[in-house]
Structure 1
Amino acid sequence: MPWLWGATVLVLGIGLAWGLAFSPPDWQQGETVRIMYVHVPMAWLAMGGYTGLVIASLMSLIWRHPLADLAAREMSPVGAAATALCLATGSLWGKPMWGTWWVWDARLTSVLILFFLWLGHAALVRAFDDPERGARAGAILALVGAVNVPIIKFSVDWWNTLHQPASVTRLAAPGLHVDILYPLLTCALGFTLLFTALILARTRSAVMERRIRGLELASARRHEAARA
């Protein structure tokens, strides 16, 4: 964890400084393009993180691995925060570019649904007194919601939307100049490290909490047996 946090601070610090202070403005978007250095990584993490949630849910349902349950439980608040930042920064970008804070097109609506899926999972896994029941219910919700991820990805190709198509991950050459592309990729790596560090830290805390509860329960049972 110390090495991971150190790498996170270093890479994210370089990426944000590079993108927000030293990269040139876009010829069309002007200074507004700097919102992209947060918005695009958050969008990638929202979808990539949900894919990780689906994998953890499969491990939970198939192999009943308790660590997968804990990882999924701690992943959903972080994923919801990333998706909320994606929506908020997208609105900040949309106002000067589109003239409106929000439009109900396929890309924006499907990302909003993803946000509600993250929130639903976070609430559902904590809604039961039995952690295993909550984990199972959350895993089923995550798997059902997995159909939304390809809809988000390909919505700009399947439907006529305001949102522009992919400009970084397309098969042809990226549609961004290297002066913008490189700091964007650096920010994406930094935010990915931050996302990973937060999930690992939360999962480790959850493991320690469960161990403490187990020790307290065992101690209480020993006291009851001694009294009997």
Structure 2
Amino acid sequence: MNPIVLWFHKLGSPPYFDRFAARWAPWGHGIGLLLIAVGLYGALFQVPADYQQGDSFRILYIHVPAAWMSLAVFGAMAFYAAIALIWRIKLCEILAMACAPIGAGFTVITLSTGSIWGKPMWGTWWDWDPRLTTELVLLFMYLGVIGLYHAIDDRRAAARAAGLLAIVGVVLLPVIRYSVVWWNSLHQGQTIRLFGESSMDASMMWPLWWVVIGTKFWFAGSLLVRARADNLHREAGKAWTTAEVPR
């Protein structure tokens, strides 16, 4: 068997995943915090003020990475849920449900920083702008997945039901992504592009990428921590849990 395929098969074993998560979760958090700290230091102390928005634009270095992660985590949750529904892989159920609280957290940060940024720019904390409204709907979708998962006692049945909701909800992602293009919006258009030229000056870009990459590592660490906890909860009472996790 191919070594990579073999590793994925082994990762589906609850004891093996527990050891894997325990080993690598601290690395995800550590590297993520380091990268985010470097990026925020550059954003606060090395990047010049914007010629139009002044220093208030610096909230972008939190708002944009959080917004990207709010969409990416929902996509990952739907992806894991689809694998779990098709192939009945328990680990993917666990990973899908572990994504939900993390993604909800990123969405709350996105909405909060957007409101703080909107006050000096728009003169109001909130406007029923298409981008803001669809992002708020995304938060409700996350909360719906979390609520449905905890409303059913059978963990596997709960994960399948909540996973189905996540898969249905994934249609919201392109609506959020292109809302500023499809409708008249107070929210500024796309200024930062992963591919192609961004309208933001290059001297202001480098801290953003540090924070963007850092949030990816932080998410990986948090996902492993939450998935490990759920895995242990489901496997409670089995011999390997009492051997590896002393009570």
TM-score after normalising by structure 2? 0.84
Determine which of 213, 221, 225 is the counterpart of 1:189. Answer: 213
Identity of counterpart residues, as a percentage? 39
Q: Which residue in 1 is equivalent to 2:12? A: none
Cα shift at 1:127: 0.9
Q: Which residue in 2 is equivalent to 1:76? A: 100
Determine which of 210, 218, 222 is the counterpart of 1:198. Answer: 222
Determine which of 157, 165, 171 is the counterpart of 1:147. Answer: 171
Q: Which residue in 2 is equivalent to 1:100? A: 124
Cα shift at 1:209: 2.5
Comparing 5-14 and 37-46, the one that deviates more: 5-14
Cα shift at 1:3: 3.0
Q: Secondary structure at the match of 1:212?
A: coil
Q: Which residue in 2 is equivalent to 1:122? A: 146
Distance 1:170 1:66 in 2: 34
Cα shift at 1:172: 4.2
Q: Deviations over 1:15-69 (max 9, x none)?
A: 1111122211111111011111100000000001100011011011101110011
Determine which of 45, 49, 65 is the counterpart of 2:73. Answer: 49
Task: Flag as ranges the 4+ runs of structure 1 deviating above 4 A.
Answer: none
Letter in 2 for 1:96: P
Distance 2:206 2:194 in 1: 16
Give the aligned length: 218
Give the greater-gyration-radius structure (CA).
1
Distance 1:192 1:119 in 2: 21
Cα shift at 1:208: 2.3
Q: Which residue in 2 is equivalent to 1:40? A: 64
Comparing 162-171 and 50-59, the one that deviates more: 162-171
TM-score after normalising by structure 1? 0.90
Q: Which residue in 1 is equivalent to 2:33? A: 9
Cα shift at 1:135: 0.8
Q: Secondary structure at the match of 1:119?
A: helix
Q: Verify: 1:136 aligned to 2:144, yes or no.
A: no
Cα shift at 1:170: 6.8
Compute the RMSD of aligned alpha carbons: 1.8
Residues 97, 163 of structure 2: 8 Å contact kept: no
Letter in 1 for 2:162: G
Distance 1:3 1:78 in 2: 17
Q: Secondary structure at the match of 2:236?
A: helix
Letter in 2 for 1:32: S
Letter in 2 for 1:209: H
Residues 28, 217 of structure 2: 8 Å contact kept: yes
Letter in 1 for 2:72: G
Q: Secondary structure at the match of 1:193?
A: helix
Distance 2:188 2:238 in 1: 51
Cα shift at 1:4: 2.5
Q: Verify: 1:159 aligned to 2:186, yes or no.
A: no
Q: Deviations over 1:115-152 (max 9, x none)?
A: 00011101111111111111111011111111100000
Distance 1:180 1:11 in 2: 16
Residues 149, 161 of structure 2: 8 Å contact kept: yes
Letter in 2 for 1:113: V
**Which blocks of at least 5 consecutive residues in structure 1 are unaligned?**
217-228
